[in-house]
Structures are given as C-alpha cells and as structure tokens.
C-alpha cells in the first residue's frame, strides 16, 4: 500500500521569482542546479537550503533532502518544522529508526502534534509494527479523513480486505476523487478477486490522469510513438498512474490476457529504466519473461538487492529459476537468503521449491515430498468443498463467496504440485503412469485449464488414445475459436494430428483453413509480422508422416510449411524441421529408406534457402546471463540456423556421393 498518509507541506520562503516559477512548474532538476550555484556563494542561506530540500524531496531523492534539513536544523535548532521535514525525508528513505529519533525530539508544539503522530504512525507502519501503528492512529482525530485512510491501510495489512475496502470507500465519499485513494479501493477489489470492480476504479484513475495531464504521454509508447521520459515528478506521483497501470497489468496477467498485461505496462507514462520504481521493474521482468528471460532475471536479481523490494520478488525469482530449469541457481538463492525464506515464502511454497530442487538429485525422494504436499492440499480442498456446501445450504452468499475463494486458492496451490509430480513420470516417458496421477485428481481438477491441457497431452503421447485426446483438446480450441491464434500452436497441431489419426480428415482440414484465414487477416494488417501457427501445424503433421516411415510425403510437407522463409523460419519451426531431417538422415544412412533423387535434390535446395534466411536466427532460446559459463553451451556462431543448415547439407551431399 503506497499511501499511508503523513502530510507533506511546502515550506514558505523568500524565493526569487525565477525559482518560484521553476518550482510552480515542477522543473525541479533545473531548480536544483540554480540553488546549488547560489549555495556556493551563500552556503548558509536558509531559504536556499529549504528550497533545495523541497526540490530533492519532490524528485524523490530523499537522502539528499534529509541532508539539507539536517543542515537547516544545525542552523536553527529551535525550528520544529525542519525537524518534522527531516523526519519525513528519513521516513521516505526507509530509515525508520533515525526518523523515529527525530520525531521524539520534536517537543511542545501543539500545532504540529497530530502531524508528528501521523508520521510516527507511518514509521511504525513502515517497520511493520502494526500494533504500535494502530495505537498511534487511534490517537489522531477521528474526523480527519486521513485517519480513516490509515485505518484502512492497517486493515489491508492484516488481510482484512472487505473491512479495508469499507474504510477507503467511506474516505472516498468524504474526500471526493483522489487518485491514490481510488487506487487503494481498486487494490482491495483486486485482493477480493473482484476484477471488474477493480478495473472500473483503475479506468477512472487513468481517464482522470489523461484528461488533467496530457503531457504524461499515456499510451504513446504502445502506439509506437517515440517518447521522452516524463521523469519522477510530483505530478506523476499524484496521478497514481504508475500504480494504476501496474495493477491493471497484474489483473490482466491473472486473467491470462498476457498481451493486455504487456500493453498496460507500455501504456504507463514513460520513464527511463534507471528511473523506474521497484514494482514496475518487477512487473516488467515477470510479464516479458517469455521474450526476454535474461533481462527478466537480471531485474529480479537486482531488486532482491534493494531495500525494500516488492514482497513477491523472492518467490517469483525462485519459481522462475525452477521453471527455466536453473535449479542450481534456485538452490543458491535459497541458501544465501535463509533470512528471507521465513518472511517471503509460505511453508507450502518452501516445501514445493525444496521438492523441485531435490528432484534434480533424487527423483524418488522428490516424488515422496510432492506426494506429502499433494495430500495436504487435497485435505484442504476437501475441507473447502465441505464449507462451500454448508454455506450454500445456509443460503449465506458472503460465506459462499469466501468459501469458493478459499477453495480456488487451495486449488491454485495444489495444481503445480500435481503437475510437478506428473512431470517426473512424463520425463521418463511413462505416460500411463502420468495418466493415473491425473485420474486420481479428477474430482478437484475437472474444471482446471492447466489440468485439462496436460491430460490432453498425456493421452496424445500414448499414441493409441487419439479419440480421448481429441475430446480434451477440442474444448480448449473451441473456447477460443474466434481468436484461434491465441491458442498455442502445439495444441492446434496435436488436435489436427488426433483428427487425422482417427480418420476425421475433414475436421483437420477445416481447422487448418480457419488458422490460415486468421493468419491472412493478421498479415493483411501487419505485413512483416512473423506467423507460426499454420506452419507448426503442418510441421507436426509432416513429422507424423516421417515417424510413420513415409518420408517422401512427410519431408515435402515439412519443407513446404516453411515457405515463405522470411516469415516462417524461426527458432521453434527450425527445431521441428531439423528433427525430421535428422531422422531422415539416420534412416538413409542405415539404408532403411530410399528417397527419389528429385526429393533429395529438393532437400538440399531447401537447406540452401535456410542458409540464406537463417543467418540471424538462433537455434536455442536466449539464456540468462552467467548461466552460459556453467552449461558449457557451444559458442554463439554455431547456434544459428545457417550453421546447422550447412551442416545438414554437408551430410546430404556426403550421402549422395557414397
């Protein structure tokens, strides 16, 4: 929560007109230069020092502001107001004990009493001493709207979101629209999983920001317009736009609208990277992980060194290391940060990570650990189910809502454990055992998308259950039929193969036509966009024929699917294509198949095309930095399509000559 309130005021002074204008226009950086110049000649000028402090404060350089106030206090030890501002600056710089000491030295100032109290409460809140903070807030005037807001913040911290929401909504009614207050309301709705209500308040903040401050360039970067940083100005802070867009990104991410999440981040008023706040940095890392993993890992590692960092950073970094299979790095981070585990990881999450890491050395022990965890979760799920039923019987809507939320949270904890458990057998290619594990969980997971998808894959891989895999893939595709390119290519490909294997060729063809039409529509709008869906479907079907020994048909289909090369050749598509060529070469070398001369010639020609278009295409995805040394990956030049295509061509030529 960003706005525990501790009033900030501008110190009046005798500024000259020019400085006055600069400050009014919030040209703080310029103003700081002028003031530093003046201070060279008049090092003890109180007006200059206090204005400088003010400018530093509003550029959020709180340490520099604190130093100015410290000097001012030396110059006039009686001035309590300076002490208050000094303490406020220290508080903003998260130097809580120091700020507290200064507060304690402010005495006998009845006019400042409540301001000091508010600040003291904010300090205790920052130190997460909620009891002391509550005690201090209770001593503030009850008719002050800030008191209401602060009580809301305290309730929020205690995870009493309904009650916090009441306080904030009440304050909103009294005080009228205030961006940060609306943001707090939106945040409570977010926590209560009422996303529509949350988005409504976010929209109000954004509309207000755009209307009042067109100079903040909202949405321009998304439109592709080159924009300059708007800087960390007071205006930006007061609009709560950064917070609102971050929350919007979080909601879209939760709803699995990943493009919308990315867009929310680029819509935000632009700042340069070193100006970004911790939350924005964290969200950028997370949301762009699929395209820029090394940058993402760098940002999260950087954040972990900051104090404070967004509380989710620690768990997310660990989970992402595991997701990208850098288990050693995850283990290191855990070992180096024992002090963080208690605070930032739930016992469940800790056990889960522990089992994931264990899996690398001992799959059996890991399986047992996952099993223990899964049992705990299923117990919780049974209990939650019972609570939902009871609440329904009693017609208690609020209790139903809460029980359903509890159930969903328990399910969110359970599914990853189940998947990790299943993956142990998946990696052993023991798909019947994977299916058994999924069958055991059907009572809870029936409606879960991740579960359904993985059941479909498992049935597919068994190669004799294509009817069943069709039954699971179909609803996934149907659900997004109108935006079919949002379905992952591999799901579409597997469904097509399932159709073909069960003699439903007409269905397969219809699906492929649909994909083709959608891709045409997209490339009509954006000619240069690389589109891989239909290509991958064709590749998978080609692979299928190759695997059945019909290379003549299979490899032709593979080659054709990559045309035109400038649009279709990519890291993933090359991966599928080269597998077919390798298997073909193996069969040819063993003289298990023969190929028409003309087909052989086509293969060589195809590889030559790949050499031309594959110069800048990597064959492995971007690795996070500092992992490269550990993994002994081949040097950069060899990891390109051009290198591999040449290599394959050489093998074909060798075969032709022999």
Ligand X SMILES: *[C@@H]1O[C@H](CO)[C@@H](O)[C@H](O)[C@H]1NC(C)=O
Residue numbers at the binding site for ligand X (CB under 6 A): 107-108, 430, 433
CB of 421 to ligand X, least distance (A): 12
CB of 107 or CB of 393, closer to ligand X:
107
CA-to-CA distance for 241 and 235, rounded, in angstroms? 10
Q: Is 300 exposed, middle or buried (0-12, 13-18, 19+ CB in 10 A)?
A: buried
Helix, coil or strand: residue 618: strand
Q: Are 156 and 133 in contact (CB under 8 A)?
A: no
CB of 454 to ligand X, least distance (A): 17
DSSP states of 315-377 as a string? HHHHHHHHHTT-HHHHHHHHHHTHHHHHHHS-HHHHHHHHHHHHHTT-HHHHHHHHHHHHHHH
CB of 430 to ligand X, least distance (A): 4
CB of 282 to ligand X, least distance (A): 40
**Using DSSP, how many helices (H) and how many strands (E) does the chain show?**
36, 0
- Measured from the Cβ of residue 438, the count of other Cβ atoms closer than 10 Å reads 19
Retrieve residue 609's tokens: 């095309």
CB of 108 or CB of 591, closer to ligand X:
108
CB of 346 or CB of 362, closer to ligand X:
362
Of residues 511, 505, 512, 500, the one with CA closest to residue 561: 512
CB of 362 to ligand X, least distance (A): 15
Retrieve residue 89's tokens: 């600056």
CB of 45 or CB of 433, closer to ligand X:
433
CB of 364 or CB of 396, closer to ligand X:
364
- Measured from the Cβ of residue 469, the count of other Cβ atoms closer than 10 Å reads 24
CB of 108 or CB of 527, closer to ligand X:
108
CB of 108 to ligand X, least distance (A): 4
DSSP states of 44-93 as a string? T-HHHHHHHHHHHHHTT-HHHHHHHHHHHHHH-TT-HHHHHHHHHHHHHT
CA 485 to chain centre: 22
Retrieve residue 519's tokens: 């891709």
- Cα-based torsion angle of the residue sequence 594, 600, 602, 603 in order, rounded to the nearest 10 degrees: 100
Q: Are 479 and 495 in contact (CB under 8 A)?
A: no
> With the C-alpha atoms ordered 339, 344, 347, 349, is the resulting torsion angle positive or negative?
negative
**Residue showing tokens 């009580």:** 151
CA-to-CA separations, 212 to 199, 215, 271, 380, in angstroms, rounded: 20, 9, 19, 49
CB of 431 to ligand X, least distance (A): 8
CA-to-CA distance for 486 and 234, rounded, in angstroms? 40
CB of 113 or CB of 144, closer to ligand X:
113
CB of 498 to ligand X, least distance (A): 22
CB of 457 to ligand X, least distance (A): 17
CB of 109 or CB of 256, closer to ligand X:
109
CB of 422 to ligand X, least distance (A): 12
CB of 307 or CB of 432, closer to ligand X:
432
Retrieve residue 181's tokens: 């207050």
CB of 438 to ligand X, least distance (A): 14
CB of 257 or CB of 433, closer to ligand X:
433
CB of 77 or CB of 311, closer to ligand X:
77
Of residues 278, 282, 271, the one with CA closest to residue 232: 271
CA-to-CA distance for 207 and 240, rounded, in angstroms? 12
CB of 115 to ligand X, least distance (A): 17
CA 321 to chain centre: 14
CB of 379 to ligand X, least distance (A): 24
CB of 436 or CB of 479, closer to ligand X:
436
Of residues 105, 104, 137, 131, the one with CA closest to residue 118: 137
CB of 127 or CB of 433, closer to ligand X:
433
**In the chain, how long is the greatest CA-to-CA distance?**
101
């Amino acid at each position: 929560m960003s706005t525990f309130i501790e009033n900030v005021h501008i110190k009046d002074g005798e500024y000259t007109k020019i400085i006055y204008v600069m400050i009014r226009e919030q040209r703080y950086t310029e103003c700081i230069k002028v003031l530093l110049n003046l201070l060279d000649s008049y090092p003890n000028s109180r007006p200059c020092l206090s204005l400088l402090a003010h400018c530093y404060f509003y550029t959020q350089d709180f340490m520099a502001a604190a130093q100015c106030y410290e000097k001012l206090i030396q110059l006039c030890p009686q001035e309590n107001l300076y002490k208050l501002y000094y303490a406020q600056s220290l508080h903003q710089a998260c130097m809580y004990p120091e700020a507290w000491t200064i507060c304690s030295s402010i005495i006998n100032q009845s006019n400042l009493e409540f301001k000091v109290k508010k600040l003291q409460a904010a300090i205790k809140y920052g130190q997460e001493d909620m009891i002391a903070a509550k005690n201090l807030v209770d001593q503030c005037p009850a008719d002050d709207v800030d008191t209401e807001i602060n009580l809301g913040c305290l309730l929020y911290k205690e995870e009493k979101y309904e009650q916090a929401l009441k306080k904030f909504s009440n304050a909103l009614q009294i005080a009228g629209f205030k961006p940060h207050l609306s943001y707090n309301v939106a945040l409570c709705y977010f926590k209560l999983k009422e996303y529509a209500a949350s988005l409504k308040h976010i929209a109000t903040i954004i509309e207000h920001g755009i209307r009042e401050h067109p100079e903040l360039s909202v949405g321009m970067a998304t439109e592709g317009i080159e924009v300059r940083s708007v800087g960390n100005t007071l205006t930006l802070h007061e609009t709560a736009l950064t917070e609102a867009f971050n929350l919007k990104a979080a909601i879209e991410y939760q709803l699995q609208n990943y493009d919308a999440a990315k867009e929310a981040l680029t819509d935000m008023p632009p700042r340069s990277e070193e100006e970004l706040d911790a939350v924005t940095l964290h969200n950028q890392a997370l949301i762009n992980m699929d395209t820029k993993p090394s940058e993402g890992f760098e940002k999260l590692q950087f954040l972990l060194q900051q104090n404070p960092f967004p509380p989710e950073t620690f768990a997310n970094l660990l989970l992402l290391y595991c997701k990208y299979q850098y288990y050693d790095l995850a283990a290191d981070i855990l070992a180096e940060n024992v002090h963080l585990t208690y605070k930032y990881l739930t016992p469940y999450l800790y056990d889960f990570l522990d089992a994931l890491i264990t899996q690398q050395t001992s799959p059996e022990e890991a399986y047992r650990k996952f099993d223990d965890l899964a049992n705990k979760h299923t117990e919780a799920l049974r209990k939650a189910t019972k609570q939902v039923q009871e609440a329904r019987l009693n017609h208690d809507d609020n209790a139903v809502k809460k029980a359903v939320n509890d159930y969903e949270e328990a399910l969110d904890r359970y599914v990853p454990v189940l998947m990790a458990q299943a993956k142990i057998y998946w990696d052993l290619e023991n798909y019947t055992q994977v299916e058994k594990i999924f069958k055991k969980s059907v009572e809870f997971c029936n409606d879960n998308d991740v579960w359904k998808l993985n059941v479909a894959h498992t049935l597919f891989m068994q190669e004799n259950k294509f009817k069943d895999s069709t039954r699971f893939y179909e609803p996934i595709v149907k659900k997004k039929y109108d935006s079919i390119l949002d379905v992952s290519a591999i799901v579409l490909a597997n469904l097509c193969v399932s159709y073909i294997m069960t003699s439903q060729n007409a269905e397969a063809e219809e699906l492929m036509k649909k994909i083709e039409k959608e891709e045409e529509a997209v490339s009509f709008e954006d000619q240069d966009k690389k589109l891989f869906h239909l290509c991958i479907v064709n590749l998978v079907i080609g692979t299928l024929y190759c695997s059945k020994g019909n290379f003549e048909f299979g490899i032709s289909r593979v080659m054709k699917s990559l045309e035109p090369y400038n649009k279709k050749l990519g890291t993933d598509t090359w991966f599928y294509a080269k597998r077919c060529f390798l298997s073909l070469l193996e069969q040819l070398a063993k003289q298990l198949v023969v190929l028409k001369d003309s087909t052989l010639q086509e293969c060589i020609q195809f590889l030559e095309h790949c050499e031309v278009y594959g110069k800048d295409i990597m064959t492995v995805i971007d690795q996070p930095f500092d992992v490269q040394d550990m993994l002994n990956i081949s040097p950069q030049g060899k990891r390109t399509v051009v290198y591999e295509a040449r290599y394959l061509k050489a093998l074909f030529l060798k075969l032709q000559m022999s």
